[in-house]
Amino acid sequence: MRNMRTLLKGASVWRAGCFHRLDVALAGGVVAAVSPSILPQECDRVYELSRLFLFPGFVDVHVHLREPGFSYKETIASGTAAAAAGGYTAVRTMPNVEPAPDDLPHLEVQRVAIRRDAKVRVLPCGCITRGRAGLELADMGALAPYVAGFSDDGTGVQAGGLMEAAMREAKRLGKPIVAHCEDASLLSGGFVHDGAWARAHGYPGISSESEWKQVERDLRLVEKTGCPYHICHVSAKESVALIRDAKRSGLPVTCETAPHYLLLCDEDLEDDGRFKMNPPLRSRADRDALVEAARDGTLDAIATDHAPHGREEKARGLRGSAMGVSGLEAAFPVLYTGLVKTGLLPLPDLVRLLTASPAALLGIPSGLEPGLPADLTVFELDNPHVLDPSSWRSMGHSTPFAGMEVRARCVLTLVGGEPAYESLPVPSP
């Protein structure tokens, strides 16, 4: 065990579905050894992590880093700093940037910024259609070697024939379609869930049907084409049922939801932009169906759908604010507090949905075994504190979880064995 460079000593280490008190040595960007005891003198850098908890790095399959085109909302640098501060070591970024990555020159603008500024691993999505306009296919063949799937996230592909063509091309290229499922003809100018809360406040609602009808259409196309198909930000119980049935039928279908859909519903709404996102917070029954999907394996990942905006864009109430909330720095604290500590979801399921399962969707390794990349995160658990977005690395501070008392705090994130974020507690004398 000579020539080891970094030692993580004394942490409770997540392996094989539970914690073990172990030392972890890192060298050359990978995990070099995991043992009950590794001598500190064998390493150049030692982190004393007693009373802390070491996990594989979290993986987020759905974030918006806003650059190029919208750097006043977020940049590659600020967004990946936020990711690292939330325990994430890899993220897949969505294509609603400018220029939209619908051909190789447009994608390269984004890749240059990633190579220059990213603090964690960033895997971009390419567009399904030119300019995400839903009229003709993007240059999928040229993009395929450099992207982690094809998406028009932010808008659904309205024409079934075009989506079928996209699926056939994606299948040929060995890449997934990453679908924002939304039938624009059913939106009716809504901006909250079409339920009792919207009706009581006189607000136009977004129906669950606007999501699940397009899920239903696309699942028929998956059956026809065999294309790997991933459904973004699932919010409706009907969508959950359709996805569960599709999986039981053996279709190559995966899905994600976000922390706010698992923890909140339209009963929690306030007339504040931090509660406005697309899809909207739905009913209590929808929330409960998503928690059950997390428990029974229907859900493949919890993704943040981190979607930062400028301060003024989120200061106009529910009616006038932009859709989208920031989530990278809140995700694990709110999920651990709201699901695990309440008994709604076992910790092994939460860790799987943040690590191994989303990593498999992206085709990247995850774990704490020798030879695997040293992409790791360390948390302090069960030390209550109040979630304060004003301290975040992200440029976007709008979240429905502001002010929530949470019981988890990220203190260290390593990417390739090097610190991407560090805020270790001062040891007690």
Asked if residue 228 and residue 92 are part of one domain, the reply reads yes
CA distance 334 to 412: 18
Q: Is the residue at 337 inside a domain?
A: yes
Q: Is the residue at 40 inside a domain?
A: yes
pLDDT tens per residue across span 289-309: 999 999 999 999 999 999 999
Q: Which residue has the tokens 């000579």?
A: 2
Q: Is the residue at 72 inside a domain?
A: yes
> Which segments in the chain show pLDDT lower than 50?
1-2, 429
Asked if residue 217 and residue 200 are part of one domain, the reply reads yes
pLDDT tens per residue across span 321-332: 999 999 999 999
Q: What pLDDT score does 20 carry? A: 97
Q: Which domain holds residue 308?
A: 57-362
Q: Is the residue at 292 inside a domain?
A: yes
- Say how many domains are in the chain: 2
Cα 234 from chain centroid (whole Å): 12
CA distance 159 to 206: 20
Q: Is the residue at 115 inside a domain?
A: yes
Q: What secondary structure letter does DSSP report for 369? A: S
Asked if residue 31 and residue 90 are part of one domain, the reply reads no
Q: What pLDDT score does 427 carry? A: 59
Q: What pLDDT score does 106 carry? A: 98
Q: Which residue has the tokens 């995400």?
A: 132
Active-site option among 23, 218, 300, 305? 305
Asked if residue 169 and residue 85 are part of one domain, the reply reads yes
Q: Which two tokens stand for residue 317?
A: 């109430």
pLDDT tens per residue across span 207-241: 999 999 999 999 999 999 999 999 999 999 999 99
Asked if residue 70 and residue 27 are part of one domain, the reply reads no
Asked if residue 65 and residue 22 are part of one domain, the reply reads no
- Catalytic, 183? Answer no
Q: Is the residue at 230 inside a domain?
A: yes
- Of how many residues is the chain composed? 429
Asked if residue 117 and residue 185 are part of one domain, the reply reads yes
Asked if residue 83 and residue 28 are part of one domain, the reply reads no
Asked if residue 61 and residue 11 are part of one domain, the reply reads no
Cα 171 from chain centroid (whole Å): 24
201 — alpha (psi -120 to 50), left (phi > 0) or beta? alpha
Query: What CATH number did the domain enclosing 230 receive?
Result: 3.20.20.140
Q: Is the residue at 64 inside a domain?
A: yes
pTM: 0.97
Helices of type H across 86-183: 104-117, 140-143, 160-173
Asked if residue 352 and residue 417 are part of one domain, the reply reads no
Query: What CATH number did the domain enclosing 410 receive?
Result: 2.30.40.10
Q: What pLDDT score does 186 carry? A: 95
Asked if residue 252 and residue 159 are part of one domain, the reply reads yes
Q: Is the residue at 390 inside a domain?
A: no
Q: What pLDDT score does 426 carry? A: 64
Asked if residue 251 and residue 377 are part of one domain, the reply reads no
CA distance 425 to 146: 39
8 A C-beta contact, residue 18 and residue 348: yes
